Amino acid sequence: MMKILHVYKDYSPIRGGIENHIKTLAEAQAAAGHQVTVLVTNPGGEKPDVLLNGVRVVRAARLATIASTPISLTLPRLLRRLDADIVHLQFPYPLGELSQWLVGGKRPFLISYQSDVVKQQAILRLYDPLLRRILRRASRILASSPNYIDSSPYLRPLADHCTIVPLGIDPQPFLQVAPLTLPPSDLPTLLFVGRHRYYKGVDTLIRAMPDIAARLLIAGDGPMRPAWEALAAELDLGERVTFLGDIGDVDLPRLYAAADVFVLPSNVRAEAFGLVLLEAMASGLPCVTTEVGTGTSFVVQDGQTGLVVPPQDEGALATAVSHLLQHPDLRRQMGQNGRARLLAEFTTPKMVARVEAVYRQLLSGGN
């Protein structure tokens, strides 16, 4: 049994790609018999120390939030006091990284490098020297794809210090489910699922829709929704673009099953991997995504499990989507290829085993 401490800013019930990843990993590790603690900040209203599905969740008091970074004066003290054989940080969260560097002691620690800092460039300029020092000091850095190591200015110089551990999901909910009943239409169905954030590139997809003979379902919610709805109205797309809002866990697999093509048109490298691509692949859908130098073009193999196009290029996006819609046999084959790739490489047990192998190597004194 290992004593594992995960550190990040948020945890369930807060929803997000990294939050969901930590929950999946921590619960699987606890189920395997390890003593697992997650240290995060408290958004307010949550118990400060609770056991959830076998995982101890410790929430430090949150003082404020600056540039999407929760500030907590108690988190460093808790990190120092909590008992652990190994500490696992999720990057980016500067408070967690600095706390480990300053008060974490001699326990081995590793960093899951989820994404470069893309938006907060002014803060990054100040943090840059410390970040590079912390990355060098980490016992190991986990990257979710080789593409990200190659394209990141922070990981590329430390490539020998990195281990590739792709993210994983439980595919079972997405296999052989009854499609969700949709309003009748003579048009095929495109699907986007995700938080409505600037880097998702849905504006490019909406601009491509006049040249695509299909309807588009947009699931999820977030700050960009009003602007995207306004753009769809401006282009007079009417009922061909529908915003569904957040979809519950029960209906989400059925929504994937009702679609013909999944589209993730991300426009910058803040889209580091794309867990929704895994869900679509588990559902047997061909995927169209973009080349932003990250895991999107690692997960989706161009010409095999889907098509990869340049970002922010509505013409290329419309051409790729239309090609799949016009060739149902190709669509079906890519969907089958994608599901096979998902089951072979991107499942939760595969991810958990790879992470545990790194832990054991570090605890045995390896690098």
Rounded distance between C-alpha atoms, residue 309 and residue 176, angstroms: 29
Q: Are residues 354 and 269 in the same domain?
A: no
CATH number at residue 210: 3.40.50.2000
Q: Are residues 192 and 85 in the same domain?
A: no
Q: Are residues 161 and 197 in the same domain?
A: no
Evaluate whether 190 touches 260 at the Cβ level (below 8 Å): yes
Residue 83 burial by Cβ neighbours in a 10 Å radius (0-12, 13-18, 19+): exposed
pLDDT tens digits for the chain (367 residues)?
999 999 999 998 887 788 989 999 999 999 999 999 999 999 988 999 999 999 999 999 999 888 778 999 999 999 999 999 999 999 999 999 999 999 998 999 999 999 887 666 666 677 788 889 999 999 999 999 999 999 999 999 999 999 999 999 999 999 989 999 999 999 999 999 999 999 999 999 999 999 999 999 999 999 999 999 999 999 999 999 999 999 999 999 999 999 999 999 999 988 999 999 999 999 999 999 999 999 999 999 999 999 999 999 999 999 999 999 999 999 999 999 999 999 999 999 999 999 999 999 999 986 6
Query: Tokens in use for 273?
Result: 């991997």
Q: Are residues 67 and 138 in the same domain?
A: yes
Tell me how many domains the chain contains. 2
Q: Are residues 114 and 176 in the same domain?
A: no
Query: Tokens in use for 181?
Result: 């009943």
**Structure letter (DSSP) for residue 169:** B
Query: Tokens in use for 317?
Result: 């996006």
Q: Are residues 78 and 179 in the same domain?
A: no
Q: Please provide the size of the chain in residues.
A: 367
Angle between helices 17-31 and 275-282 (to 10 degrees): 70
Q: Are residues 46 and 150 in the same domain?
A: yes
Q: Are residues 158 and 202 in the same domain?
A: no
Strand, helix or coil at 299? helix
Q: Are residues 335 and 356 in the same domain?
A: no
Q: How many CB atoms lie within 10 A of CB 321?
A: 28
pLDDT of residue 122: 62
For residue 127, give the amino acid letter: Y
Task: List the domain range (segments joined by +) for residue 21.
Answer: 3-168+347-363
Q: Are residues 204 and 333 in the same domain?
A: yes
Q: Are residues 219 and 341 in the same domain?
A: yes
Q: Are residues 30 and 162 in the same domain?
A: yes
For residue 336, give the amino acid letter: Q
